[in-house]
DNA sequence: TGATTATATGATAATATTTTCATATGTTAT
DNA sequence: ATAACATATGAAAATATTATCATATAATCA
């Protein structure tokens, strides 16, 4: 990816919202479907979906269908970007968020949680 | 500076606006007073001032009075921040903007330009 | 097939950001 | 001291972003 000013502004805009920054940090830890994010963040489904779209349109994440679920993950193409690498090294999920993520995965929320 | 989520969001928000990103890239090249920025960016004085304030409140820049002028510069304390260092390496002023900056300095705009 | 589940999306409402205008403040020059 | 200049700032207007609600789509399950 090239660091054009427009692309960078889109990335900054995408990451300058707390919800989206949290989602991005969660996805740096693990792939997640929308219902897992709903469960972890405790937010409305459409709010999560809209924010995921903004992250996707900034090129930060990708998605892929897996049966009923749509799995979101960090865009592998952007991981070679120096700015993104540095963000990854410098920014960390909060302890509480990390605990929520672990709980979600351990309890197999994807299969059990009813998301709407 | 510590990379708290709040501080980072403020930085991203500050840099996610084209005008402010340009100002920040200009200041990475050289210290500038408001009237030089007005001349280079060809924008209203109060617009420049408001945007400078947002950059300052994000901790990205500092200012200092010099007679009639107020000189803005990159906050030296933030230069040790890895994210900022990477931005500095990865992002560059456009060729046209660089030319404008050089012209401004060569023509000694600070002393000659009437800014309002 | 029809119901249920997971997710996306368009439209609207709520909220925040940005620009502009008018004016205030502080400095220098006369 | 007064005028001129450089800059800051509050308020209003213009614009953009975000959340919510209703509904659509696509897959799975019974």
pLDDT tens for each residue of A48-71: 999 999 999 999 999 999 999 999
Write out the residue range of the structural domain in which residue B67 sits: 5-112
Q: Which residues contact A28 (CB under 8 A, 6 or more apart)?
A: A74, A88, A93
Label residue B116 by pLDDT band (50, 70, 90). Answer: confident
Average pLDDT, chain B: 94
Cβ neighbours of A28 in B, within 8 Å:
none
The count of other CB atoms within 10 Å of the CB of residue A69 is: 17
Q: Give the model's pLDDT for residue A85.
A: 92
Residue A1 has pLDDT above 60, yes or no: no
Average pLDDT, chain A: 94
- Residues 83-112 of chain B with CB under 7 A from strand C are none
Q: How many domains does chain B have?
A: 1
Chain-chain contact of B18 with A8 (C-beta, under 8 angstroms): no
List the beta strands (DSSP E) in B24-98. Answer: 32-33, 61-66, 69-74
Query: Which of B3, B90, B94 lies nearest to residue A90, judging by beta carbons?
Result: B3
For chain A, the residues whose C-beta falls within 8 A of a C-beta of chain B are: 3, 5, 8-9, 12-13, 15-18, 21, 81-83, 85-87, 89-91, 94
Q: Which two tokens stand for residue A36?
A: 């897992």
> How far does the CA of B50 sit from the C1' of D14, in Å?
16
**Half-sphere exposure (CA, 13 Å, Cβ side) for A16?**
15
CA distance A25 to A88: 8
Give the single-character DSSP code of B74: E
Interface test with B, best of A10, A11, A15 (most B CBs within 10 A): A15
Three-state DSSP class for residue B68: coil
Cβ neighbours of B13 in A, within 8 Å:
12, 16
Strand partners of residue B61: B74
Give how far the C-alpha of residue A27 lies from the chain's centroid of Cα atoms, to the nearest Å: 4
Q: Which helix H or strand E contains A85, and what residues bound it?
A: helix A82-90
Q: Give the model's pLDDT for residue B28.
A: 95
**What is the CATH classification number for the domain harbouring A65?**
1.10.10.10
| Nucleotide minimizing C1' to CA distance for residue B19 | C18
CA distance B108 to B90: 29
As a whole-number percent, the residues of chain B with pLDDT over 90 amount to: 82
Q: What is the pLDDT of residues A12-55, one digit of tens each?
A: 999 999 999 999 999 999 999 999 999 999 999 999 999 999 99
**Angle CA B83–B85–B91, to nearest 5:** 95
Which residue is closest to D27 in terms of CA–C1' distance?
A68
If one compares B95 and A113, the residue with the highest pLDDT of the two is: B95
A55 CB-to-strand C distance under 7 Å: no
Q: What is the pLDDT of residues A101-116, one digit of tens each?
A: 999 999 999 998 888 7
Q: Write out which nucleotides of chain C lie closer than 7 A to a protein Cβ.
A: 5-11, 17-23, 26-28
Q: Which residues contact A110 (CB under 8 A, 6 or more apart)?
A: A33, A35, A36, A69
Backbone angles phi, psi at A107, to 5 degrees: -85, 5
Q: What is the pLDDT of residues B33-70, one digit of tens each?
A: 999 999 999 999 999 999 999 999 999 999 999 999 99
> How far does the CA of A8 sit from the C1' of C24, in Å?
37
ipTM of this complex = 0.92
**Closest residue in chain A to residue B2, using alpha carbons only:** A90
């Amino acid at each position: 990816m090239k660091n054009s000013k427009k692309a960078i502004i889109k990335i900054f805009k995408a990451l300058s919202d707390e919800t989206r920054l949290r989602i991005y940090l969660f996805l740096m830890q693990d792939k997640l479907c929308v219902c897992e994010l709903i469960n972890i963040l405790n937010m409305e489904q459409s709010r999560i979906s809209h924010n995921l779209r903004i992250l996707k349109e900034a090129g930060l994440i990708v998605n892929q269908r897996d049966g009923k679920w749509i799995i979101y993950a960090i865009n592998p193409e952007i991981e070679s970007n120096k700015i993104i690498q540095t963000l990854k090294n410098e920014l960390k999920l909060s302890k509480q968020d990390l605990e929520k993520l672990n709980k979600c995965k351990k309890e197999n929320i994807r299969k059990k949680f009813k998301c709407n």
